[in-house]
Structure 1
Amino acid sequence: MLFGAPWLLAHKSMLQVNQPTKISLYGSDYVVWKDAKGEINALPNACPHMGAMLSEGWCESKEDNSSVVVCPFHALEFDSAGCTVLPSSNKKTLPQLKPLELIIQGDFIWSYGGIEPKIPIPNILNEIASKYDFIGHTADTSVNTELLPMLLNMHDYNHQNGTHRPLFKIQEILFEKFIDNGHQSHAFYDMPTAPVSLAEKIKKPDLLLIPKVIKAHLENHFPSLVIFHGQTVFGKLAQCHLFVPESENKTRTYILMFGEANSPISKFFGKTALEFAKVIVEQDADILGKIYPNSQQKIKLNNEVGIDWVKRNFDNFPEVVEPNLSKS
């Protein structure tokens, strides 16, 4: 599960104020909540009394606008340090739960899962947030697959005209180049789409988002982030795909969408962009459930350099070894 990598657990907008949420990482469950001050807290999800899920409880606000999470079984309150006050006692206990260490960068909530960091947090999301408007999040999904198959699927540039053909009517992949910078890379390719009539566009306006040729620029930050940089008639998009290893056999994925509209009316198409992104994740999750994971690969297609990049970095993590794929 690549211990020592940073994982983006959530964007702050994904957490409602004083609403406990369960997040899993490295086989452990945590309860995460945001108080009225916007501060983020995270504790192990099992109550130390009888193991009830704290994420199924609720939050109680305090006078300073901080909040505690309350166990749904016996209403024990736990503060951000994991301390509680036992019934018939006015004395706070020592910490009973060890908080999950979080690294907050603006609206981004990162964690190493309590493991010693081996690679740094990429700064690209901070750069995107400073330039683009935040459109929203979508497709927060747990997929019954190991982390590696998920990453291989996302870096398989040949699957666009198969897995995603029903959505984009992609006809072929015209690969241009791949730039390998170790744990960071760029892939550039064009995807011609099938013609859409004016009548079809009038009937379904969201087809206006699909150009005749989708010019893809994927910016990859191993292992947790793939960014699709796109250009539509309504402006620029940065569609950020995130991955989190919930356990050995379950991987969470979701999308954060940022955009730069070129006119006021363009902002109305943000919802459509999110809907497209949700379908993309649904299609990827569906195909991952239709693959024999241990089957031997006897055929190799052109332009599998993204797959090779993932395998190299996965096998040698946290080191980066030759070959440098962009030069091979």
Structure 2
Amino acid sequence: MSMLEGAPWLLAHKSMLQTNQPQKVSLYGNDYVIWQDKTGQVNGLPNICPHMGAMLSEGWCETEADGTSAVVCPFHALEFDRHGCTILPGTDKKTLPQLKPLDLIIQGDFIWSYGDYQPKIPIPDILEQIAGKYEFIGFTANTSVETDLRSMLLIMHDYNHQNGTHRDLFEITEVRFEKFIDNGYHSEAFFNTPTAPKTFWEKLKQPNQFLLPEVIQAHLENYFPSLVIFYGNSPFGKIAQCHLFVPESLTKTRTYILLFGEASNPLAKLLKNQFLGLSKIVVEQDAGILNKIYSDAPQKIKLNNEMGMDWVNRNFTTWEQPRI
């Protein structure tokens, strides 16, 4: 089972980090603590105190005169700066690094990491492009799912599951697939999904339906393995819904959504929480179906339009092959 070591992973958007509030993230079976200081600098260390193993993410931060901060162990209040150095009680000198900092790559508000593995593919610049074009609405559905990375990605690239997994949410009547463009570790999919017609009074019972067009015109842009972007239109403007994936361990995958929008209706900003709520439901439903699948069951039936799933499987297979 592969976690695709050497891929770039978006650990967080800066909006997900409160100033001087330690937060735990996991990658490749290792736990880290990350925090953002008053200067906006983001730091990362292994989450285990080298004294007696306390979780640093359960501690707090102490700010220095220059605005930078150290993370403090909740057990004995040892302070560790961003280099992993501390000052032992009864001394006034910093130790040598006791913890190896996690190598973070900060691009604007985006916090990437290769988890200290040698990079195999570059960080995609599409999120910075989206941030320059659309307004950032927020993040939602930051969830750890008890599933391996491959199973998670297969669900996200299954273009037939909307009218099953998301039946109650979208009431999609069919999937009209148009085309799939395969560019190696980058791909795009285009399809339309008509939804069941609703009266005004029926929509009042399910207010999320006011956010949806009668035909969802889906454009998915995929960056293997960590990012799926849904570009869509609503009665209130355009959205770019960015689904992120992080392999926490062999059997656990974290997913979350960064939502961007371009309003065409003054009401759009008032509906910010509704759009985030709709996105959260999508993730919850995808996570829910993953807990209802026998992962070792053989696939005896193949449906039309499974090109996205084939793309995922091929890239997993070729990932470990030598690059020329």
What TM-score do the two structures reach when normalised by structure 2?
0.97
CA deviation map 1:28-75 (0-9, x unaligned): 000000001110000000000000000000111111111100000000
Aligned to 1:75: 77
Aligned to 1:326: none
CA deviation map 1:87-138 (0-9, x unaligned): 0100100000000000000000000000000000001000000000000000
CA distance in structure 2 between the partners assigned to 1:251 and 1:119 by the alignment = 20
Residues 83-98 of structure 1: matches in 2 within 5 Å? 83-98=85-100
Matched, 1:223 2:225: yes
Counterpart secondary structure, 1:283 = helix
CA distance in structure 1 between the partners assigned to 2:279 and 2:164 by the alignment = 16
| Aligned partner letter, 1:54 | L
CA distance in structure 2 between the partners assigned to 1:313 and 1:23 by the alignment = 25
Matched, 1:60 2:57: no
Q: C-alpha displacement at 1:200, in angstroms? A: 2.2
CA distance in structure 2 between the partners assigned to 1:318 and 1:61 by the alignment = 43
| Aligned partner letter, 2:117 | I
CA distance in structure 2 between the partners assigned to 1:182 and 1:68 by the alignment = 42
Aligned to 1:274: 276
Q: C-alpha displacement at 1:270, in angstroms? A: 1.9
From 145, 163, 166, give the equivalent of 1:164: 166
Seen in structure 2, the aligned counterparts of structure 1 residues 118 and 170 have a Cα distance that, compared at 3 Å, is same
Moved more, 298-307 or 193-202: 193-202
Residues 285-300 of structure 1: matches in 2 within 5 Å? 285-300=287-302
Aligned to 1:245: 247
CA distance in structure 2 between the partners assigned to 1:80 and 1:304 by the alignment = 45
Seen in structure 2, the aligned counterparts of structure 1 residues 291 and 16 have a Cα distance that, compared at 3 Å, is same
Q: C-alpha displacement at 1:251, in angstroms? A: 0.3
Contact 1:119 1:318 in 2 (8 A): no
Matched, 1:260 2:266: no
Counterpart secondary structure, 1:42 = strand
Aligned to 1:8: 10
Contact 1:313 1:319 in 2 (8 A): no
CA deviation map 1:232-266 (0-9, x unaligned): 11100000000000001100000000000013221
Aligned to 2:311: 309
CA distance in structure 2 between the partners assigned to 1:250 and 1:80 by the alignment = 27
CA distance in structure 2 between the partners assigned to 1:314 and 1:272 by the alignment = 36
Q: Identical aligned pairs, as a percentage?
A: 68
Seen in structure 2, the aligned counterparts of structure 1 residues 203 and 295 have a Cα distance that, compared at 3 Å, is closer
Counterpart secondary structure, 2:278 = helix
| Aligned partner letter, 1:307 | M
Q: C-alpha displacement at 1:181, in angstroms? A: 0.5
CA deviation map 1:243-294 (0-9, x unaligned): 0000011000000000000132211122111101100000000000000000
Contact 1:76 1:85 in 2 (8 A): yes
Structure 2: tracts of 5 or more residues without a match: none
CA deviation map 1:113-172 (0-9, x unaligned): 000000000010000000000000000000000000000000000001000011111111
Residues 140-159 of structure 1: matches in 2 within 5 Å? 140-159=142-161
CA distance in structure 2 between the partners assigned to 1:162 and 1:206 by the alignment = 18
CA distance in structure 2 between the partners assigned to 1:252 and 1:66 by the alignment = 29
CA distance in structure 2 between the partners assigned to 1:189 and 1:258 by the alignment = 21
| Aligned partner letter, 2:200 | L
Aligned length: 321
Matched, 1:32 2:51: no
Aligned to 2:210: 208
CA distance in structure 1 between the partners assigned to 2:188 and 2:272 by the alignment = 25
Q: C-alpha displacement at 1:210, in angstroms? A: 1.3
Q: C-alpha displacement at 1:204, in angstroms? A: 4.3
CA distance in structure 1 between the partners assigned to 2:151 and 2:171 by the alignment = 24
CA deviation map 1:159-216 (0-9, x unaligned): 0100001111111111110000110000001111111111123454432111111111
Counterpart secondary structure, 1:157 = coil
